[in-house]
Structure formats: C-alpha cells, structure tokens
Structure 1
Amino acid sequence: MRWLDHREPVSGPLRGAVIALGNFDGFHQGHQAVAGEAIKWAKSEGRPSIIATFDPHPVRHFKPDAPPFRLTTLEQRQELYLAAGATAMLVFHFDAELASTSAEDFITDILIERFGAYGVVTGGDFSFGKMAKGNVELLQTFGAEHGLKSRVVEAVENEGVISSSRVREALREGDPQLAAELLTRPFAIRGIVEHGDKNGRKLGYPTANIAIGTYLRPKYGVYAVTGKVLSTGETLKGAANIGIRPQFEPPKELLEPYFFDFSGDLYGQEIEVAFHHFLRGEAKFDSLDDLMAQMEKDCAEARRLLSALPDD
C-alpha cells in the first residue's frame, strides 16, 4: 500500500482519486463509514481511493504537553486502511505551515493542485484550515466552484454518536469490551519487547516488557489479553499488567503481558497486545506470596474469559 506525504505532489496513477478526509486515528465504526463511502465511490468510477490521517495529531501541535491519547500508530492505521480496501494512505504532517494554511488554500493548493483530487468524503463535523474555519459547507460551495466534488457521511450511532472520545473514555474507565464494540476490534498496543528487571521471571511469570509510548493509557490494572508476534503471525493468550507496578521500586510505567504456555524468546520482537477484558486495578500487596496468589487467580480468570477465542 502506498504511503503518501502531503508535502509532496501525488504521482500520476493516484491523481484523480477520491479521498476520505479526517484524522481516522482509532478507525472506529464512524471512520469506517466515511472511508467506506470514499472507497465505494472510487470503485464505481474506476478511480483510486485514498484515506488520509494526521501525524502528529493537530492536538499535539497546539497542546504539546497534552497526555498521550493515540489509539493507533501510523503502521497500524496503514494496515487497517489496506484491509478496508483503500489504494493508499495519505499522511498530513501537521506543523506550523499546515496550521497557517487558509481553508480556501487547503482546497485549491493542496487538495486540487497538489493531490489532483476528484472528490472528498468527510464526516459532518470535519474542520480544516487556519483556525479550523473550513467545514463541509465550504467544501460543498467553494470546493465545487473549483471542480472538487464532495460527499458527507452522517455520524454513526450506537447508544450515542460513535467517536474517538467515546473509545478513549471507555478505555480510561476500564471497559475494553465497549471500546472493541465501537472500534470493531480490540484496542491494541504494539511495541518491541525490551529487557526488564526480571521480576516476573523471579515470580514464575516471565513477562514481555513493552513501552507504552504515545498510546492512550487505558485504566491501569490487569487485563485478559492476546498477543500477536508480528514476524511470525503467532497468536498467544495471556494476562497483562499495564501501569506503574506499585509492588516494585522505583515505579516504572510498562505494559507487561505474560503469555500462557509459552517458553520462547520474545526479546527484540515486535508484538501487538490486544485488550479483551479488565480483571482488576493495580494494587500493592502485603507480600510477594500474596501477589503470586493473586497472579494465579488472574491467570485462571483470563484463561476462562479467553477460552471462547479460537486457538492460534
């Protein structure tokens, strides 16, 4: 799948595309509806389809100290867009120059001249351009005057409008099942397995330590998870702690999955850990024996909850 940079002109075969415009971080049901309309429209006219995203997120540009909130990495988004049927992913590198581009110039100079866009599809609340003054009405009027076609997809609802904010709220509240329903897949953190202090190994539960990076922090605690080793495609079941590990000093924020019935070496491997069920919050126990007893209970419960999933 092509990975396009908004600062560069779009090449010949991809000019005349239908572009799904938005941030599409989590690529939840609402995002999928917008992208799906763009892909269907493009296919009906024999045109390529492009799904856009912003990286860094505009919030990160205007509020650089904002806590981490990303639901996906660019690599994960690329895979999701490809699976949806898009021809290419377009990355808007949000910086001062893009932030200062007027909405009208965004349409004429970027969408029409630089990309050669035939049409764009957005959600009803999409905004763009300097001071976010651009909206769907401007696309439908000013854009149309310059030959750019546009379509608007209404919000998708599931007991309320589906949004990235709702997904983040569900994860922060320890409800990965609701997040998965809105996303149509479990929330997943991807990273490289690092060497740690081996506390889990000493307790008989060797973990694969992963830095959380720019991902949103779900509620700290223990979860039933699955892991996918990207190099092999192997899927593993397990229990994971995400948080600061209050039992050990000094506090260190980590994602630490323990995979059942696995004895291989994951150091240096890139794995993706998907969150299925919240088991309990983080806690400090009176002794390591008490911690080990609780870990045994956690693993038993995780096995039970994950038993409905197919084995790799």
Structure 2
Amino acid sequence: MRFEIGGGMDLIEETVRQFLSDKAKVLDVESTRLHSGYQAVDLFRHRILLESEGRQEYSSVITKMANGIERRVMKRLLDQGANVPFNRAGNLDSDHRVLLCIQDVDYKTNYQNLDIGMLQHKEMQALAYIHNRNRGLQEELSWLPRVSRTYIETIIHGVWRPAWEEAKHNERFVETFGTYISEIDAVSGKIVDELEAVWKDETTHTLIHNDLNPGNVLVHNNDDVMFIDWEEARYGSLFLDIPMRFDRSQAGEYREVLASLGWELPADTFGQSYRAASWYLGLRYMTWSLGAWLRDPGTEAGLRRYLDMVVV
C-alpha cells in the first residue's frame, strides 16, 4: 500500500537515520494499515528495505497520528532511558494530532516461546523506573492532565454504567455472570468516594500510563518489554497503573522494587489503595468487554478477569 500521509516518508527516513543508521538509504517501503483499536488514528506498519555500506536488510517502523500528550511523553521517556520504543515526531508543541514514527517493537518477537517469569520481572523493573523517575514533578509535568473526581465520575457514570445496565437486561449475561451482579452494583455505588483518597494522595503522584491493557505492553526480541500508546497518560497516583499489570501478590513485589529505588510506600495503606484502584480499573475495562461478549462469547475470559478485579 502506498503511504499517503503528508510528510510521512520524510519522517520515516529521519527516524531511520537517527536510530538505525545515519548511513542507511531507504530503498523501498511497503506500508500496511493496521487495525486502529480504540485510540490510534491512521496507524501503519512500514516494512523498510535499507541499504548501508553495500548491504541490504529489512527493518520495520510504525507511524500514527498521535496527540500532543503521547508525543511529548514518548520523547521524555526515551530521553530518560525508559522502556519505550524509539520515536520521532516533527512537532512536539502542537496539541493537535501530528505524525509520530516509532520503533516496531515486536515484529521479530516469537510469542509462542516466551519466558513469562523473566519478562514479568523486567516489566516490574521497567514500570517502577518510570514511576520513580517522574514522581513528585507536578510543576515540571504541568502539561499533563490530572486525574480528578470529575474524570473518575465520567468513566464510571458516563462510560461504564450505561454498558453495565444494558448487560443486566440481557438474559444470557445474567445466566452466565449473575453471581457477580449484586456485588458489582454495591462496589459501583461507592467506588468514586473510595478512590478519592487514592487520587488525592500526592505522595503517590507521578507520570502514569493510565491505559496498561495487555495490548500496550509489548515484548521486544523475546527478552524485554516496552510500553506503547501513551495517549491517555496522566499525572496521578501510580495505583491507577499497578492492578492492570500485577495481581495482589505481585503488587507486594512491586512495592519492594519501588523501595529498592528509594520510594517507600507505607504497607498499611498500600493494600487499601490497591484494592480501590483494582475495583475502579475492573469497572473501567469491563466496559468494552460487556459489549464484545454479547457478540463474541470467545471474549468471556477477558470479561471474567475484569469482573474478578472488582469482586475478588
């Protein structure tokens, strides 16, 4: 497919020279439009034939029309040496969507042959580095949106609740998941108040990804992880990231990793904050799954995972 977004080829060539080889010449680019998911706009994968010093080889990059938050966060984290793809954008200042070129993290990854334990450990270290490196920087990160009560209420009452009420009127849903309904109704009635203590606790504030679903944590070359898609990034409590990646026992390990970096979080409040954040994230992320399950029963495992985050 021909890549038609204005300035796209120039940006690809600049990215190649900056991160792959300053001597490389782009001989050919084969572009494929990718499924955009919920956020991504004009998402393409580009298979690039390069020539450098008489040798030819293929590489791959991704381009997307990214918002200003993602472009600035990706550049910041790359400069900090965090586990994000290499990336380049022509404009970091505009709040409008601008073309971003990033490393194609997992195009060589064999997902059938992964050392899960090793990768989970590396992910824990990598996320803790990002959280610790950017904690307490409210003024420096003043351009990031804040988590607020209004934001939480919009997610729960404006996004989740309509999907939940519709699902409860579906006989097949009630038959399959009826045992969850009363407890989730009870949690949903108090979650905004329960979570207020979490998002207001400035001692836990840092740069957060705020959308750490499995599709946004990729394996690179089978031996490392990278975090992608920072469109929803916020300045807020790190607890709004943790439950999406680590269960209760793993969260304790994560607390220890943070402590090894010099960030001590009190044990007596850690569990309470984790629980409230888990409730909220379970509700938030089941929203899509509620509709998907009614169309595709194969998504049941994903929906059940989010239901369990609320009731377990």
Q: Report the TM range for the smaller structure's normalisation.
A: under 0.3
TM-score (norm 1): 0.26
Structure index of larger Rg: 1
